[in-house]
Amino acid sequence: MFQIDRRLLVNFDWALLVTLLAVIGMCLANLYSASYALHSYGTAAYIKQAYFYVMGFALMLAIISVDYRIFMRLNYALYGIIICLLLYALFFGSTTAQTQRWINLGFFKLQPSEPAKLVLVITLASYYSRRDTGKGFSLKELFVPGLLALAPFVLILKQPDLGTAMMLVFIFVSMTLFVKLKWSTLATLTTFCLAAIPIGWKFFLKPYQRQRIETFLNPENDPLNSGYHIMQSKIAVGSGEKFGKGFLKGTQVHLDFLPERHTDFAFSVWGEEWGFVGSVLFLACYFFLIFLGLNVALSSRDKFGVLLAFGIISLIFWQAFINLAMVMGLLPVVGMPLPLFSYGGSSLLTTMAGIAIIFSIRMRRYMVGS
């Protein structure tokens, strides 16, 4: 199972590693600035995040050493474990800001909803690679994968964590469309989703969730309360102008106007201090990393590897897209981290584990797919 030979090193994706290190470097610099003026006790956020990066690289080394196809055999075991962790977090987990989504491990708090996203990718990739005939899935054939996605979706929604729960929907839809649906199935599901929107708005969304959407549509209506996050984020990004205000010189950040600046609104800090040019540079590196991951998916020689790499990249892309749109006021605030960039151990370790699987797929593409 554990093997390192010359062919693995020859097929190692060095471009992906260099791009990853560049993104991590920018992330640590940004987090240092974002937490520079925070009035907190204990270890600074950027130092904690550096520890998580070290843990992440150790995890990556372990995963890279393993043939990624082992996840096809272990997928249901991993799925069962993550469901148990979600249940434990729901009933016995730590509570913060009226949400119950963390398990206290002592050295850090695990948020099982984060690895649940990666486990769902592995589960769907395993299921679809076994059942895909190339003719497109019917509505009946989607029952099992839909059920596999529904269980963690409901548990995460109960925490409550609408943003992460919706990410499971994005993963399911992206991977399902990728393997192909019959036109009749696609039409039926599209009609159902459109009909469900008003029902979900009236009966399933909580008042604060509806308020977030209303605030997104008109943040100026309540600029000192529900619209405060979006307004301050837009001011921070816009005030960076062409070249930014300079490292550690962002006024929205260091005068305490911008909330959640080291987590959900980390990119607002970058935009203010480095401006449009710096933002374009960061986004170029970030989305080049995503492009390299897609290239691995397209070059994989077995169906499981293709689906697994595509699912992981979809996970990173949708989180990045939603976070960036959120901080610029283009989407409602839903508490979505920017992978690798926002502070948080569970999100970071999950993302690095996913990237490690992509490395493993790239390194073993010379092997005959099972």
Phi and psi angles of residue 219, each rounded to the nearest 5 degrees, phi first: -65, -25
Supply the pLDDT for residue 1: 44
Helix residue ranges per DSSP H, 106-248: 113-131, 143-157, 162-179, 183-199, 207-217, 228-239
Q: Residue 109 pairs with which residues in a beta bridge?
A: 104
How many whole angstroms separate alpha carbon 82 and alpha carbon 353? 15
Model confidence over 255-294: pLDDT tens digits?
A: 777 777 778 888 888 999 999 999 999 999 999 999 999 9
Confidence band, pLDDT 50/70/90 cuts, at residue 127 = very high
Residues 6 or more apart in contact with residue 8 via CB below 8 angstroms: 363, 364
Tell me, what DSSP letter sits at residue 221?
G
Question: Residue 222 belongs to what domain range?
Answer: 20-40+52-363
Confidence band, pLDDT 50/70/90 cuts, at residue 170 = very high
How many whole angstroms separate alpha carbon 259 and alpha carbon 257? 6
Please answer whether residues 29 and 38 qualify as being in contact, where contact means their C-beta atoms are separated by less than 8 angstroms: no
Taking CA atoms, 14 is separated from 176, 289, 299, 347, 362, in Å, by 30, 11, 16, 24, 11
Amino acid letter, residue 34: A
Q: What is the token pair recorded at 294?
A: 């897609």
Confidence band, pLDDT 50/70/90 cuts, at residue 42 = low
In a domain, 10, yes or no: no
In a domain, 293, yes or no: yes
Model confidence over 295-340: pLDDT tens digits?
A: 999 988 889 999 999 999 999 999 999 999 888 878 877 778 899 9
How many C-beta neighbours within 10 Å does residue 350 have? 25
Q: Which has more pLDDT, 218 or 67?
A: 67
In a domain, 245, yes or no: yes
Q: What is the token pair recorded at 32?
A: 């240092």
> What is the dihedral sign for C-alpha 289, 295, 297, 301?
negative
- Map tokens 């691995």 to a residue: 296
How many whole angstroms separate alpha carbon 335 and alpha carbon 314? 18
Q: Determine which helix (DSSP H) or strand (DSSP E) holds 317, and give its type and residue range.
A: helix 303-327
In a domain, 32, yes or no: yes
In a domain, 84, yes or no: yes
Q: What is the token pair recorded at 96?
A: 């913060």
Please answer whether residues 258 and 233 qualify as being in contact, where contact means their C-beta atoms are separated by less than 8 angstroms: yes
The mean pLDDT value for 131-135 works out to 76
In a domain, 250, yes or no: yes
In a domain, 265, yes or no: yes
Residues 6 or more apart in contact with residue 272 via CB below 8 angstroms: 236, 237, 239, 240, 244, 245, 250, 251, 252, 253, 258
Residues 6 or more apart in contact with residue 239 via CB below 8 angstroms: 245, 251, 252, 272
Q: Which has more pLDDT, 214 or 22?
A: 22
In a domain, 127, yes or no: yes
* Domains held by the chain: number: 1
